[in-house]
Structure 1
Amino acid sequence: MSDFSDPRIVAGYAERPVRQVPGFHGLQRMAGLLIAERVPDDAHVLVLGAGGGLELKAFAEMQPGWRFCGVDPSAEMLALAGRTLGPLAPRASLHHGYIDSAPAGPFDAATCILTLHFLPEEERRRTLAQVHERLRPGAPFVVAHHSVPQRDEAEKAKWLARYAAFAIASGVPISDAKSAIADISKRLPLLSPEQDEAMLREAGFNGVELFYAGFTFRGWVGYKG
């Protein structure tokens, strides 16, 4: 998939999710609302995959009392997050690396949006367990990423074609959308929605509920047991 250290990709990052993820801004708002159900006005929120800063900014604008800890493996994307936050930046501490680079917490909530689909299955399990370890009891965890029904290759191909059709309808060049399908199929360790839900429960999250579905994307909320 995309090389998030490439300056051209970093520079154009803010445009891509809106074109590729159905209801992207609504997804961010829903994530913020799900967190707000369970946390205090001065919540400290862990944002895994915070590069670019889009959800950090959305959450910060929704809740003026929240503070954030953002983690991302791309230094270039973290720098973009700082620029995206602008005057809101003092409310976020940014950490370069993976989940192991995050402070121990405990955090009042956590999110991981459009990130987990990059991780191989075993690394995904480890990451979810590490997030769980850093949360307060009962804390909400919101995730959203590619999660594709795939009982067979034909079903998987059908959903990926729908993903590409949305991107094309949103202004992505046809060649780029078709290239993205090939890239996703070959390089992303995609799981099915059933596998994703089971993995959240295995990591110790209770009350796991689907709150968002947009073609190949799914979003869940769960709570630290």
Structure 2
Amino acid sequence: MTSFSNPVSVSGYAQRTARLVPGLTDLHRMTALLLAERSPEEARILVLGAGGGLELKAFAGMYPNWRFCGVDPSTEMLDQARTELGTLAARVQLLNGYIENAPEDPFDGAVCLLTLHFLPEEERLRTLREIHRRLKPGAAFVAAHHSFPNDAAGKDRWLARYAAFAAASGMPGMQSENGIAAMKERLPVLPPEEDAALLREAGFSDVELFYCAFTFKGWVGYAN
């Protein structure tokens, strides 16, 4: 697993993530479009797990009147986000911490990409509820992360496919047995139906799958 405080890992985050996540730039674009369906022209968007700044840069470039609050527990990743954003950083408030450190005034939309698969189920539900509590009624929330079957055969099958994709993208180390074993051990991944159920339990309605790319899934839901 990657350390989000290791300088070498942090500096290579953007290139590595683009290789490991199928259609990453398209995921960012689709996410922004889903947010825009329910957001005003001068929206304020919450981005949880914003370190690295990739999605913030994409959103800010597409919607020049939006402002953002990006939250991440890694100071090193937030520094990387500032570098990635460049002049766009003027429209972004970056906060070191977790969801409870985000402002409570309601946002017009929220995003959590490639982050929730690090959280155990109970903590994931708590985080989703805290996101929901910070949204205006009807606001969109978009989440995308690892989500695949949890039975032994299904897990092995999908992790092997993920590793094969990584190898085909120029990262052969991911295909080792140790790499797959580390993901099994350290990521509390849920199957897609349980991920969607957690979103509904947290208070989001009309939950829909919009992104499916090997082990990664993405949903959009709306605050009640």
> Is residue 94 of structure 2 the alignment partner of residue 94 of structure 1?
yes
Q: What percent of counterpart residues are identical?
A: 63
Show the counterpart of 1:25.
25
1:17 Cα offset (Å): 1.5
The CA distance in 2 between the partners of 1:193 and 1:105, in whole Å, is 30
The CA distance in 1 between the partners of 2:175 and 2:77, in whole Å, is 23
1:177 Cα offset (Å): 3.3
Are the equivalent residues in 1 in contact too, given 2:163–2:175 (CA < 8 A)?
A: yes
Match of 1:138, SS state, is strand
The CA distance in 1 between the partners of 2:219 and 2:21, in whole Å, is 15
Runs of 4+ residues over 4 Å off in structure 1: none
Match of 2:189, SS state, is coil
Please give the TM-score of this superposition, normalised by the length of structure 1.
0.97
CA deviation digits over 1:111-132, x for unaligned, max 9? 0000000011111010000000
Matches within 5 A, 1:31-42: 31-42=31-42
Over aligned residues, Cα RMSD in angstroms?
Answer: 0.8
The CA distance in 2 between the partners of 1:176 and 1:36, in whole Å, is 35
Match of 1:208, SS state, is strand
Show the counterpart of 1:62.
62
The CA distance in 2 between the partners of 1:67 and 1:153, in whole Å, is 43
> Is residue 156 of structure 2 the alignment partner of residue 137 of structure 1?
no
1:176 Cα offset (Å): 3.3
1:45 Cα offset (Å): 0.1
Paired amino acid for 1:117: H
Matches within 5 A, 1:204-223: 204-223=203-222
Show the counterpart of 1:160.
159
1:182 Cα offset (Å): 1.6
The CA distance in 1 between the partners of 2:174 and 2:183, in whole Å, is 12
> Is residue 90 of structure 2 the alignment partner of residue 85 of structure 1?
no
The CA distance in 2 between the partners of 1:200 and 1:220, in whole Å, is 9
| Equivalenced residues, count | 223
1:2 Cα offset (Å): 1.4
Show the counterpart of 2:175.
177
Paired amino acid for 2:220: V
Show the counterpart of 1:121.
121
Unaligned runs of 5+ in 1: none
CA deviation digits over 1:155-207, x for unaligned, max 9? 1100000001111111112x333243221101110100010000000000000
The CA distance in 1 between the partners of 2:68 and 2:179, in whole Å, is 31
Are the equivalent residues in 1 in contact too, given 2:160–2:175 (CA < 8 A)?
A: no
Match of 2:80, SS state, is helix
Unaligned runs of 5+ in 2: none
The CA distance in 2 between the partners of 1:177 and 1:90, in whole Å, is 40
